[in-house]
Amino acid sequence: MKLKIYKRSFASIALSSMLLFGCGVDFLEETNPNAITTDTFWETSKQFQSGLATVYGALQFQSISGAGLINEMILGDIGGTESWYRPTAYRNLTYNDASDQVTDKWNELYIGVFRANQVINQIQEADPSLFAENEKETIEAEARFLRAFFYFQLANTYGKAVIRTEVPVTDEDFNKPSSPKEEVLNTVVLPDLEFAKTHLPKSWDVKNKGRVTWGAAASLYGKTLLFQEKWSEAATEFKSVIDSRVYALTPKIRDNFSEENEFNEESIFEVAYNSEINPGANGSVVDDDPGRTGAEATAIATGLGQLSFGAYNTLLPSYYLHELYVNDEVDPSNSINKNNTQSVRMTASVVPINGEGMYYQLPIGTRGGWAFGQSAYIKKHTNWYHLPNEDDNSRSGINFRHIRLADVYLMYAEALLNAGGSVDEAIEYIDLVRARSGVITIKQYLADNGNTFPQLHISKQVHGTQPMVAPTADNIMTHIRRVERPIELAFEGHRWKDLVRWGIVKEVFDDLRQDEVWREANKASIFDQAPLFIAERIRPDFLLSSANYSPTVHNYFPIPALELQNNNQIGN
């Protein structure tokens, strides 16, 4: 049975953002004595906790932690789609300032900011005697972490943001210019996270599981520094999280993408969903749906998988990602492996036609698919481990993990390499991630191959061989960029931001387009053959994105057209 602790309070929005919204114009001369206003609401600690719950609730919006992210997951090198699906505009880089995810994410992040600002502004003026010991500081720290997260997303999705740290009241408050990414990070994100680190606990009791912690604040702080290329400072921050011993890799990687072990030892920042609280609902119930008491993850599950055999597979693994999983070579000496020939990381993440195990409790291939160039389907965030007729309403309640320890290990290794630190130590943390999935570690490759390891991102199908290279800082960094992060963190919302900050989008797109050209020219000899068992056609995922990509146009979403119309001070 899923925990329902914070899952219920996240979406029990008795206190909506509109209810609390202040305005500088009096629409009625007489005041309704029954109305809840900012003057009458913030009077008890319970009311502050209720207000805080609405801030958490904003995390459940689809553009932030749900199906809207599919449009961003497809931007990079790990995802493809078909021409008849809506994410095609993002795959081909033909979206614009009125496209759904561009508009929805901006709006929903600012709802989160607005709610966070209400809590922060009001609690800073509140009487300390209203609260239990440390409660006042902790509530503010939670709200400031969440505001930092929303602004981190704004800054790194749009490349700029309108900084609002007070609840707007006058026209001047609403009409403000945008600030560049670095200003947003330095003036809002980092200070908020500093406060959060100081006042958040390292853990919560079971009753409060799901609230943000010191580890979440420290990890996001380190990630912000990493994105600013402050390598040494970022490494120090990540190491503090690692050395705290609060977190550990889960023995089963699959536990990070299913309902079976949520808020586990690897989870650092996780958004709660539930499919059980409101069993009569159908579809994607989210934060502010009227009369609802639960938020679901149904839309992303049906968008990615074959939930109840009625889903759409609007996002597909690219051939590049599929082959990365094929190259994830099983280490037979690792006790995690039990007669499997494919890595457990593959089995937890994607399902090819020759995959191992069951799929919706049926042999792989029982349900139609794996045709017309679709070589594999996504398992992450889907209910693939359930029966095909589990729920007539096609529901899912799988939590979305924004930060987990494996990500921190890989970011630490990256920061260490760029700071001129120990290559051996960077390899150690990469290998912790690899060993958890039972695949051959870099250290083992070096021992077996004269201190060299293979460049696993290069397609064997296309190029025949993978060059063996020495463990230099540059080569290990290439491995992190082109192998470890895409294969470990696929479809977890990181890939496009990674490619952009590394400045390698054009290089990657051009490489993968050339691979497609080779496959098209040689399709007669590779159809239905290992390693990918592609059938019927070669899917042209990078045909248009490779040609269309321009860093000044596509690295960040444009500010939505509606925002430009409504805010006369903002500019693109």
pLDDT in tens, 539-556: 999 999 999 999 999 999
Q: Which residues contact 129 (CB under 8 A, 6 or more apart)?
A: none
- Residue 316's SS3 state is strand
Read off the DSSP letter of residue 558.
P
Reply yes or no on whether the pLDDT at 395 is more than 80: no
Evaluate if residue 204 carries a pLDDT over 60: yes
pLDDT band at 360 (very low <50, low <70, confident <90, very high): confident
Q: Average of pLDDT values for 377-406?
A: 81
Mean pLDDT of 193-219: 96
Q: Report the SS3 class of residue 269.
A: strand
**Which pLDDT belongs to residue 310?**
53
The mean per-residue pLDDT over the stretch 277-295 comes to 55
Q: Average pLDDT in the 271-280 region?
A: 76
Whether 157 shows a pLDDT value over 90: the answer reads yes
- At 283 the pLDDT is 53
Contact 189, 230 (CB under 8 A): no
Query: pLDDT digit string (tens) for 472-486?
Result: 999 999 999 999 999
Exposed, middle or buried by CB within 10 Å (0-12, 13-18, 19+), for 136? buried
Instruction: Of 9-23, 169-183, 248-262, give the lowest mean pLDDT range.
Output: 9-23
Query: Which is higher by pLDDT, 85 or 496?
Result: 496
Residue 287 scores a pLDDT above 60: no
- Amino acid 309: pLDDT: 53
For 18-32, 436-450, 494-508, which range has the lowest pLDDT when averaged over its residues? 18-32
pLDDT of residue 281: 55
Mean pLDDT over each residue of the chain, to the nearest integer: 89
Residue 493 above 50 pLDDT?
yes
- Contact between residue 416 and residue 235 where contact means Cβ atoms under 8 Å apart: yes
Q: Give the model's pLDDT for residue 304.
A: 86
Instruction: For residue 368, give both structure tokens.
Output: 């139609």
Confidence of residue 284 (pLDDT cuts 50, 70, 90): low
Which of 18-27, 58-67, 377-386 bottoms out in mean pLDDT, i.e. has the lowest? 18-27
User: Per-residue confidence at 387, pLDDT binned at 50, 70, 90?
Assistant: low
pLDDT of 86 reads 82
Question: Helix, strand, coil: what percent of the chain each, to 5?
Answer: 50, 5, 45
For tokens 């993850």, what's the residue?
Answer: 297
The CA distance from 363 to 90, in Å, is 33
* pLDDT of residue 5 exceeding 50: no
Q: Which residues contact 27 (CB under 8 A, 6 or more apart)?
A: none
CA 21 to chain centre: 29
3-state secondary structure 62-101: HHHHCHHHHHHHCCCCCEECCCCCCCHHHHCCCCCCCCHH
Distance from C-alpha of 158 to C-alpha of 553, rounded to nearest angstrom = 11
pLDDT at 18: 36
Output the pLDDT for position 388: 56
Listed range (354-363, 406-415, 507-516) with the worst mean pLDDT: 354-363
* Residues 93-147 pLDDT 10s: 999 999 999 999 999 999 999 999 999 999 999 999 999 999 999 999 999 999 9
Whether pLDDT at 427 is above 60: yes
Question: Stretch 308-327: mean pLDDT, rounded?
Answer: 86
pTM above 0.85, yes or no: yes
Task: Specify the range with the lowest mean pLDDT, choosing from 17-31, 70-84, 169-183, 321-335.
Answer: 17-31
Answer whether residue 19 shows pLDDT above 80. Answer: no
Question: 571 is written with which tokens?
Answer: 């500019």
